[in-house]
Structure 1
Amino acid sequence: MNERTHERVVERATTLDDDDMAALCEAADAAIIEGGGFGWVNPPGRSALERYFQGLMLVPERELYIARLDGVVVGSAQLVRPPRNNEAQAFAATLTHSFIAPFARGHGLARLLTLRVEEGARALGYHVINLDVRETQEAAIRLYEALGYTRWGTHPVYARINGRTVRGFYFYKLLQPGGKIA
């Protein structure tokens, strides 16, 4: 563990300046190469990543949270609200596409990022947060379980990684006091 104290910040991003976009794309590339690239198996290239992040900030049902280490963007996660036509599940949001660049791990940012997304969901009135993760993302699985997420299911053919089929695990967490759904 580093002796130096690092500044850790997680915030909701509605815009990204050029430096933040460059850092986010670099962090995403590193996470993809390492195997935790929120769906991508191979880096899609800088312009594709820029378009992806610019586009997601335009989607009303998605919120982008960014993690900073010493002022530099090193990861992100998304809070996805259910579509308006899904009244039956209007109480539940989804945490998706969460990652911290390998070079920034070990500082508690993944935990802080998850907690901030939960706070955002709670502030919007959601009672449940759902997520899913590949079985290969063992550190993420340990984190979610440590934060009180309940694994409720397994998808046996969830993803294909380098020609190999991997399982996916589904989790949920009750967000409101007492775990009640109003």
Structure 2
Amino acid sequence: MRFRDATGADLAAIVALLADDPLGATREAPAVELPSAYAEAFAAIAADANNRLIVADDGGAVVGCLQLTFIPGLTYTGGWRAQIEGVRIAQSQRGRGLGRAMFNWAIEQARARGCRLVQLTTNKARPDALRFYESLGFTASHEGMKLDLEAA
């Protein structure tokens, strides 16, 4: 298993992973021909030195993904932070330690970039994910909020 930056050829597999849960199924559009917005988003991520779209590659098969974003800020004495989002592990790979390994890898990337902290959000409808993140040492220290601009 290796963790690497995604390529355009990985895009369909990543979208399929994102869609493969009850919440993702309501907001993603996996198809033989993906909506162009996915390719546009991928191009923007790939062009931004502070963003990385990472895949877990098992002999050429994409079995996990996450997006790692490095954010500069004035808080924490001008400290950088890393945001982890869009985390998915293929159902066939869950429970085997891949998610933990992928997170440990991402956290080390944040350390290497000099980040002061790593943050993430998780949907309240995913209690298993919350327990997993807590097992990695994350704490629910803040209340997160989102505004869906398409629904507003």
Structure-2-length-normalised TM-score: 0.77
User: In the comparison of the two structures, how many residue pairs are matched?
Assistant: 143
Partners of 1:145 and 1:111 lie apart in 2 by 11
Give the whole-Å Cα distance in 1 for the aligned partners of 2:29 and 2:12: 14
Q: Which has the higher helix share?
A: 2
Q: Map Cα deviations across residues 47-72 of structure 1 (whole Å, 9 max, x no partner).
A: 33333323311222211221123431
User: Superposition RMSD on alpha carbons, in Å?
Assistant: 2.6
TM-score (norm 1): 0.66
Once residues 104 and 54 of structure 1 are traced to their aligned partners in structure 2, the CA distance between those partners, rounded to angstroms, is 28
Q: Structure 1: which 5+ runs fail to align? A: 1-7, 161-182
Residues 82, 110 of structure 2: 8 Å contact kept: yes
Q: Which protein is richer in strand relative to its size?
A: 1
Residue 7 of structure 2 corresponds to which residue in structure 1?
16
Q: Is the CA contact (8 Å cut-off) linking 2:18 and 2:86 kept in structure 1?
A: no
Aligned to 1:135: 124
Letter in 1 for 2:112: A
Give distance in 1, aligned partners of 2:38 and 2:8. 14
Distance in 2 between the 1:75 and 1:159 partners? 27
CA deviation string 1:49-97 (max 9, x = no partner) = 33332331122221122112343112211221114xx333433222222
Please point out which of 39, 44, 47 is paired with 2:29. 44
Residues 1:107 and 1:93: Cα distance change in structure 2 (over 3 Å): same
Consecutive unaligned residues in structure 2, runs of 5 or more? none
Shift of residue 122 of structure 1?
0.5
